[in-house]
Chains A and B, each alone.
Chain A
Amino acid sequence: MGYPHPPHPRETVVLSKYFGDQAARTFEGWTGRGGYAALRRALGMTPGEVVEIVKASGLRGRGGAGFPTGLKWSFMPKNSGKPHYLVCNADESEPGTFKDREILRWTPHQLIEGCAIAAYSIGAERCYIYIRGEFTEPWRVMETAVAEAYAANALGENVFGSGRRIEMVLHRGAGAYICGEETAMMNSIEGRRGNPRIKPPFPAQAGLFGMPTTINNVETLAAVPHILNQGADWYKGLCLGNPKSTGTKLFSVCGQVAKPGNYEVTLGFPMRDLIHDLAGGMRPGRTLRAVIPGGSSVPIMNREEAESALCDYEGIVEKGSMLGSAGFIVIDDSADLVYEIYRLAKFYAHESCAQCTQCREGTAWTTRILERILRGQGKPADLDLLLDLADHMTGKTICVLSDSCAAPVVSGIRKFREDFDRYLSGAVSPALVGA
């Protein structure tokens, strides 16, 4: 539900049912709401059976890549003899996205249960939950909840008497968006700079501490208990668009809408309704101009594209963008789009780890050109330069941070050329404060 707003009738409330409900935070409160039944059920099956259920459900990674979760779990080796690890990615730093924070602070046990089931099914005895350093409240809530879970034997060396061991360790980040990239996250847990790793090797072969590892997003793992409880068919049936996109998703709608919040809808939901109905639509006197749907690392959609798209992985690709983490940044006609694109480029330049030349230098150069344009000192050739830089920054680096910087820049220039032309004619941005 769009906490802090009351649930909208058109939402399909699964993960967010108890957002805002303080009582649901405790172990008792959660079990009273049906929690931990799924874990018990999973422990009664073989790990392979659990993986099959998750595969059949069609659950896809909710962190941004949309990779089929069951398939990812099945990549783990069967008889390696090495310790396996599960890593829960709670580094949520993608601009526009604020859903994992809600799961962490309102329903910590939902996540703990999901992690425990996942760990069991991939043969991991230890799960690290990497929480970004700025999430101080979710950290405190999770600390308490993990301690409760241990006390109740939902975690520990003999979970619910099953003979299985599942340990959970909270690991605090320290301010780096790039640590949300799965291989950078592993490096960060290992006590290193958060540099992404080259692949191969892939995490399932050699990941955390060189051991077979699976990394999943918070929202992905939170869905797992529900799938175990209500079945793969139920989850698969939650589909309004393409059958490859099943289940519900938390859409973090923010920016220039009347009711920013997390809205949980079935995948395939019409984007127009999400924005104009659930999120309350535009503020008085304003018209929709653009939407960046995936968090910021995807092409900007113009109004026509946004109002005709279905909210699922394929539907948004059809309209030229990507679902990503579903952090919907809504932009109306009062916004200085060029400034916002500049500010996003500045974000990526700040967060670049510095390994790859194209990212390290390209994000910085892009930012400087955009700033100069905003000061009214840009030339038309600068736009060609930005597009060429974006081409160099796409598909040529260890991770996709530089691609992510390029996406809004390219789509912004192509679809909102008139905004740039205004600045090329000499307008100066009033927003360059503390730039």
Chain B
Amino acid sequence: MSDLVTLTIDRVPVTVPKGTTIIEAAKQAGILVPHYCYHPSLSAPALCRMCLVEVEKAPKLMPACVTAVADGQVVHVHGDTALKAREGVLELLLINHPLDCPICDQAGECELQNFVFQEGRAGTRYAEYPKRFNPVEEFGPDVLYVPNRCILCTRCVRFMDELAQDEVLNVSERGDRAYIGIAPDQLLDHPWSGNVVDLCPVGSLISKDFLHKARAWDLDKTASVCPGCSQGCNITIDTRDEVVVRLRPRPNLEVNRHFMCDHGRMDYRWMNRGDRVEAPLQRRDDRMQAIDWESALDAFVDLVAAARSAVVLASGRASTESLGWTRGLAIATGRVTAAVRVPRGGEAPLPGIPNLALRAERAPNGAGARLAGYDAEWDSALAAAGSADLTLLLDVELSDQEADAVRRCKTVVRLATLEEDRFQAELVLPVTTMAEENGTYLNRDHRIQRFLQARPGPGMARPAWWVAAETWSRLAEGRDAPGSAAEAFAALGQEIEELAGLRYEELGLTGRALAPASADAG
């Protein structure tokens, strides 16, 4: 085809569309061209000079981030000239950079450390001490700026200008006196401003929330999906010793590119709550008694078998598997009213990226719930609970008024994460949160995405889909409960047309768009 170009990068042949930059073409060859100021979601100013590569027949080293490929081009990323040039850039970046690694949060995930270790000099030749010193500045409610560490890549300024479209940062002064300035009397508090901390290649822009909390190499990192709203930003959950200490965005070019909003970013503390139900509880003699799972499941089977109608009130944070299987179990009673709770809040777009915003629907799986048949209005479902035989609460926190309505139901079973003492349910079955299980969410654009288990659930907690499926399998002969979330998901395809034939393997870690459904506004 005429608009493809073939070139050689470090002896690896690569074929890419015309107009591709060398730095992007190199990725296809599995070659990372070291860089700082370049970022695939931002403009490319080519000013850090790290990505200079040797292009045969070109008179000078060329910046790979802005040089387009050409047919027959021969590029050397790791040839002697390019290596020497990078070594020079790294040494120069370090002359005004303090030796802060022992106290710097970025250590272990610092791109300056990484490239210096990989290609820099073992020692500096700089002898003009003392180094410049400037105090730390508070840019916003969470972001701190440490001017001494700044390498002036300007990613933060460009992010705020181009993507947040809130021009509150600048480059001030000139020469080696330059620093990142903030508008006088303004704060870095844009709903997406936390991304500058991720974008900063070094520890110059850091998060107060994460300050001195954990060392990068102590963290376990798990791919997940943000539970903050229906946008479905892909994230990484960072845990240390099983405690969630940080959420970061994970790249997904179809959903959130490289970003997540501050609301989602900061909303992880609930994942560490200790006031959890840790064992199945059954009401006996007006007390809640802890029992084993076998007994709990048997008791649940009896309650379901005895009911002729059921109401399911579910959290919009429950996984598609849990929602599907819980409602599937409830249908065994004969008549089901199922509603999902989706809190609402203001919308906050990231204007520079199409279709990316903190959404008004502040739950990650409202669409998944609706797909699984949770189509009742919340208030009517609450009212229906009063006259239903069985009410199942799937990880919902009720208001006092809502608790009153539910209390009127003959039999209440809670599939619960948190303790609750306003009414005594017949059964309380401890379930895991999305951080403690594998599952999927369907975002507002009908993209089904997997999230992985980031920490163990407390005590005897199990995924809600497991509780429902085990109970369901005991209701009749010849039924096998799914043994994994993958099986639970695959089985959903038998009831839910849009998921028919889909398996986890096909979703990967960036998900998959389902065939367009009717508009699912949220």
A and B touch in the complex (CB under 8 A): yes
Listed in ascending order, the chain A residues whose CB lies under 8 Å from chain B are 176, 193, 198, 349-358, 360-365, 368-369, 372, 385, 391-392, 395-398
B44: nearest residue on chain A (CB-CB)?
A198
Q: Are B128 and A369 in contact (CB under 8 A)?
A: yes
Q: How far is the CA of A364 from the CA of B131 in the complex (A)?
A: 12
**Docked complex Cα distance between A211 and B125 (Å):** 45
Complex interface bits, B451-490 against A, C-beta within 8 A gives 1, otherwise 0: 0000000000000000000000000000000000000000
Decide yes or no whether B48 CB sits under 8 A from chain A: yes
Determine if B88 and A198 form an interchain contact, defined as CB atoms under 8 angstroms apart: no
A-B residue pairs in contact (CB < 8 Å), sample of 22: A193-B171, A350-B174, A351-B174, A353-B174, A354-B173, A354-B176, A355-B47, A357-B89, A357-B93, A357-B151, A358-B88, A358-B89, A360-B152, A361-B176, A365-B95, A365-B126, A365-B128, A369-B128, A372-B128, A392-B92, A396-B85, A398-B47
Q: Inside 8 A of A397's CB, which chain B residues have their CB?
A: 49
Residues of A within 8 A of B174 (CB): 176, 350-354
Interface residues on chain B, number (Cβ under 8 Å): 31
Min CB distance A379 to B, Å, is 9
Taking a contact as CB atoms under 8 Å apart, the answer to whether B126 and A357 are in contact is: no
A356 CB to closest chain B CB (Å) equals 5
Complex Cα distance A82/B60, Å? 32
**B96, CB-defined interface residue at 8 Å:** yes
Interchain CA distance A354-B45 in the complex, whole Å: 12
Verify B60–A396 contact, CB threshold 8 A: yes
Q: Let me know if B125 and A360 touch, CB within 8 A.
A: no
Known: A357-B93, A361-B95. A352 touches B176 (CB 8 A): yes
Tell me if B178 is interfacial: C-beta within 8 Å of chain A: yes
A198 close to B45 (CB less than 8 A): yes
Does residue B199 face the partner (Cβ distance < 8 Å to A)?
no
| Cβ B173 vs Cβ A385 within 8 A | no
CA distance A213 to B95 in the complex (A): 39
Assuming A352-B175, A356-B49, what are 7 further A-B pairs, CB within 8 angstroms?
A355-B47, A357-B50, A358-B49, A361-B96, A369-B128, A392-B89, A396-B85
CB <8 Å contact, A398 and B176 = no
In the bound complex, what is the Cα–Cα distance between A398 and B60 (angstroms)? 12
Tell me the complex Cα distance, A353–B127, Å: 24
- In the docked arrangement, what's the CA distance between A385 and B92, Å? 12
Q: Does B52 contact A (CB under 8 A)?
A: yes
7 A-B pairs with least C-beta separation: A392-B88, A354-B178, A368-B128, A361-B92, A355-B47, A364-B176, A352-B175
Interface residues of B in 112-129 (CB under 8 A from A): 125-128
- If A350-B175, A361-B176, A392-B85 touch, does A355 touch B45 (CB 8 Å cutoff)? yes
Per the 8 Å Cβ criterion, residues 43-60 of B in contact with A are 45-50, 52, 60
Closest chain A CB from B408 CB (angstroms):
68
Q: How distant is the Cα of A176 from the Cα of B128 in the complex, in angstroms?
A: 26
Known: A392-B88, A396-B52. A385 touches B125 (CB 8 A): yes
Interface residues of B in 5-32 (CB under 8 A from A): none
On whether the beta carbons of A349 and B92 are closer than 8 Å, the reply is: no
Given A355-B45, A365-B126, also A349-B85 (CB < 8 A): no
Q: Which residues from chain A contact B66 at a C-beta distance below 8 Å? A: 198
What is the chain B residue whose CB lies nearest that of A196? Answer: B47
Q: Is B364 an interface residue (CB 8 A)?
A: no
CB pair B60 A360 closer than 8 Å: no
B92: A residues at CB distance < 8 A:
357-358, 361-362, 365, 392
B152: nearest chain-A partner, CB-CB: A354
Q: Which of B76-93 contact A (CB under 8 A)?
A: 85, 88-89, 92-93
B360 within 8 A of A: no
Bound-state CA distance A397–B50 (Å) is 10
Query: Do B175 and A351 touch across chains, with their CB atoms under 8 A apart?
Result: yes
Q: Is residue B63 contacting chain A, with contact meaning CB distance below 8 A? A: yes
Report B-chain residues with C-beta under 8 Å of the C-beta of A358. 49, 88-89, 92
Query: A residues within 8 A CB of B63?
Result: 198
Question: Given the complex, which residues of A lie within 8 Å of B50, measured CB to CB?
Answer: 357
CB of B303 closer than 8 Å to a CB of A: no
Q: Does B61 contact A (CB under 8 A)?
A: yes
Neighbour of A198 across the interface among B46, B61, B171, CB < 8 A: B46
**Least Cβ distance of A65 to chain B in Å?**
16
- Across the two chains, which residue of chain B brings its CB closest to A395? B60
B163-176 contact mask (Cβ, 8 Å, vs A): 1 or 0:
00000000101111
Complex formed: what's the CA distance from A392 to B171 in Å? Answer: 24
